[in-house]
Amino acid sequence: MNQGRPFVYADARLKCDGVDVAELAEQFGTPLYVYSANQIAERAGLFQTAFAGVSHTVCYAVKANSSLAILKMLAAQGCGFDIVSGGELARVLAAGGRDVASRVVFSGVGKTAAEMDEALDAEILQFNVESEPELELLAARAAAKGKRARIALRVNPDVSAETHPYISTGLSAHKFGIGIKLARAVYTRAAAMPSIETTGVSVHIGSQIRQVEPFAEALAKTLALVAELRSDGHQIRYVDAGGGLGIEYADKDFDAAEQVAHYAAALKSALGSMDVHLLLEPGRFLVGQAGALITRVLYRKQNGDKKFVIVDAGMNDLIRPALYQAHHEIVPVVTREGSLDEEADIVGPVCESGDFFARARTLPVSEDGDLLAVLDAGAYGLSLSSNYNTRLRPAEVLVESTGARLVRRRETYEELFAPEMP
């Protein structure tokens, strides 16, 4: 099993599931994202095993990494999908076919009428509705199509999650969901709409949460609401427990199986004997440690006592350090015997002072042309990337049991300019 990091050294060279990373960089260029298919499948399998005694569906959070190749692999493994846009719905259908729509839940606070129409036509499993105006629009769109939209209200349980404030979503101060104390009245209103079917309740308290207690607390509050709703006559079948289970970016010995087991035990304890179908939405946990961003050293410079290692990847390729002050381990792709360490900032070429991957990081001394790997970059890497500074986004390589294959080629300037009309 490969539940830790799939990037390990052999003969002083970094390998991904046995494939030489330096050779991939030479073949496909840099910056380059490299993913382990084996680990993504294993991580999905951990959830399926841990919840084997519970009626459930693992709905991968597409926003973490929306690579068609990864979506296709997870669909074949029986996963469903948590989407937050019409574009993500299109990706899921392109990767898994129309049949996978029955395992899709649509979250997000700003669904448009066009997106609702696309999801209604696809006959997705459930809309996770986040406001009363959204409910009214969805009811109107479903009525216009002669359909009934299956909904869960996303309730805000006012549970605090110890995570970055930008990715905490479960407090009343956040834009997400409907206050749990108001939900019962909204369900009564929804049930009176002929084009709406109240089938579930949804909750999601944030991302990169490493303690399981907040998940159990949020689920317990949600299940108490389910009991009330059933007493009101609502046929609640699904409870969407959301996602957000975190990984350890700096812990090389992180035990993924143990973490999932603790998470499952906490949710099962909260669930008790209640008969519901549980929807789980892991994202980062499946793909985060399966990926690395490979970058090449362009230059070294020193301003006074401050040393800088300038690489060819930038904040447009991986924005997490700049946006979230996130820590990513950075390692040489090829090590040198007897190499000394130094403290330096690892920075990119983008014209922003916030364009950095690490500050005051102690690493082996590198030379121009050396390759570095930014680890644990499989989640919110390319999916948050941009073309800022008119930079072409990286290519992506998926390492499978049959070897490595290019799953997204590097963009061209012609493709970048194509939508523009000078």
pLDDT in tens, 385-402: 999 999 999 999 999 999
Q: Is 410 annotated as a binding residue?
A: no
- Cis before 394 (ω within 30): no
Question: In whole angstroms, what is the distance from residue 297 CA to residue 71 CA?
Answer: 32
Q: What is the pLDDT of residues 409-422, one digit of tens each?
A: 999 999 999 999 99
Contact 254, 4 (CB under 8 A): yes
**Rounded average pLDDT over 318-327:** 94
Q: Is 72 left (phi over 0), alpha (psi -120 to 50) or beta?
A: alpha
Q: Is 283 annotated as a binding residue?
A: yes
- Check pLDDT > 70 for residue 353: yes
Q: Is 107 left (phi over 0), alpha (psi -120 to 50) or beta?
A: beta
Q: Is 411 annotated as a binding residue?
A: no
Q: Which amino acid is at 208?
A: Q
**Rounded average pLDDT over 53-78:** 97
Contact 206, 168 (CB under 8 A): yes
Question: In whole angstroms, what is the distance from residue 113 CA to residue 153 CA?
Answer: 18
Of 310, 402, 386, 396, the residue nearest 348 (C-alpha): 310
Of 158, 165, 144, 153, the residue nearest 189 (C-alpha): 153
Question: In whole angstroms, what is the distance from residue 399 CA to residue 333 CA?
Answer: 16
- Six-digit token string for 316: 């447009």
Strand 395-400 versus strand 32-36 pairing type: parallel
Question: In whole angstroms, what is the distance from residue 332 CA to residue 13 CA?
Answer: 9
Q: Is 282 annotated as a binding residue?
A: yes
* CATH 3.20.20.10 boundaries in the chain: 107-282
How high does pLDDT run on average in the chain?
A: 93
Q: What is the pLDDT of residues 133-189, one digit of tens each?
A: 999 999 999 999 999 999 999 998 877 555 444 444 434 545 568 888 899 999 999
Contact 158, 134 (CB under 8 A): no
Q: Is 324 annotated as a binding residue?
A: yes
Contact 42, 1 (CB under 8 A): yes
Q: Is 194 annotated as a binding residue?
A: no
Question: In whole angstroms, what is the distance from residue 65 CA to residue 288 CA?
Answer: 9
Q: How far is CA 313 from the centre of its chain?
A: 21
**Rounded average pLDDT over 265-286:** 95
* CATH 2.40.37.10 boundaries in the chain: 7-35+289-417
Contact 404, 397 (CB under 8 A): yes
Catalytic positions: 351
**Rounded average pLDDT over 212-218:** 90
Domain 107-282 architecture:
Alpha-Beta Barrel (3.20)
- pLDDT at residue number 176: 62
Question: In whole angstroms, what is the distance from residue 192 CA to residue 188 CA?
Answer: 7
**Angle of CA points 211, 236, 117, to nearest 5°:** 95
| Of the options 3.40.718.10, 2.40.37.10, 2.40.420.20, 1.10.8.350, the CATH number for the domain spanning 7-35+289-417 | 2.40.37.10
Helix (H) or strand (E) holding 398: strand 395-400
For the entire predicted model, the pTM comes to 0.94
**Rounded average pLDDT over 298-313:** 96
Strand 32-36 versus strand 56-61 pairing type: unpaired
**Residue 360, Cβ density class (10 Å: 0-12 exposed, 13-18 middle, ≥19 buried):** exposed
Q: Give the pLDDT band (50/70/90) at residue 192.
A: very high
Torsion angle of C-alpha atoms 246, 248, 254, 259, degrees rounded to 10: -20
